[in-house]
Amino acid sequence: MSFSRGEWAKEKSEIALALGNGECGGGYGEAILILCATISAMAAEAWPGRFNDRKRFIEIVVRFSKTSELPTTISVPLLLQKIEAEKRKQDSAALKKASLNFPYARILLGKEVDHSEKEILQVCPKLPLKKMRDHSYANLLYTLIRSPYSHQYFPDEDASPFPMTMDKSAGVSYANRLDAANPSKGYRHLICFHLPWLAELAINLGQEVDAATLSFPLKPPKRWWADG
């Protein structure tokens, strides 16, 4: 019987979810390490080699995922925080009015506030594609979660390990944190990737990759999706 990456990813996901639920003293961090390593392993099989780990991680989830909340989705709260820091007043005002016209303390769900590149460009037509993709779920999963947990066993300061809702249909939610250095500015939003969504992503990728492995390894793209 040929090796099934879908079954393998399912087995790893079941272990991760059990740890995430507290079995064997586990938690979010242990689950993240397994789920992200599972995705990284398939990305390394697709594009072997060194010095492209982030780009191939992003590429495989973008190219092969068919989950309900797509990895190409742009995190509007984190994108807004970035362009506000850059003092892009016109873009920040337009984006806030279109997607984040809520009280600061409201708990936000990704499916309520996050959008596709096309939708954001309708509001901010001059926003660079690379900047948007830097705030895609695919890139944020790697830069705020996968990499920090691998190197420091803790998420980036713009991410949270604590889901803000019991809604099982939600794959992403945002924690609100008061900016102690600038309390007058209100809350910062921290993204949380829910473990069931990540497990679904890993399993889905395994199933899709199974159908493509005859052509592995793949030729590196002339331009990786992450590069815009």
* Span 91-119, pLDDT tens digits: 999 999 999 888 777 889 999 999 999 99
Contacts 24+ apart (CB under 8 A), 81-84: 81/158, 81/188, 81/189, 82/131, 82/134, 82/135, 83/127, 83/131
pLDDT in tens, 44-60: 999 999 889 999 999 99
Rounded CA separation 152/65 (Å): 27
Q: According to the model, what pLDDT value does residue 185 have?
A: 66
What's the confidence (pLDDT) of residue 184?
63
Indicate the average pLDDT of the chain.
Answer: 93
Residue ranges per structural domain of the chain:
5-227
Question: Which phi-psi region, left, alpha or beta, contains residue 84 (left: φ > 0; alpha: ψ -120 to 50)?
Answer: alpha
pTM for this entry = 0.95
- Strand 108-109 and strand 172-178: the pairing is antiparallel
Indicate if the pLDDT at residue 181 is higher than 90: no
Q: Name the pLDDT band for 199 (thresholds 50, 70, 90).
A: very high
Please report which helix (H) or strand (E) contains residue 43, including its range: helix 28-46
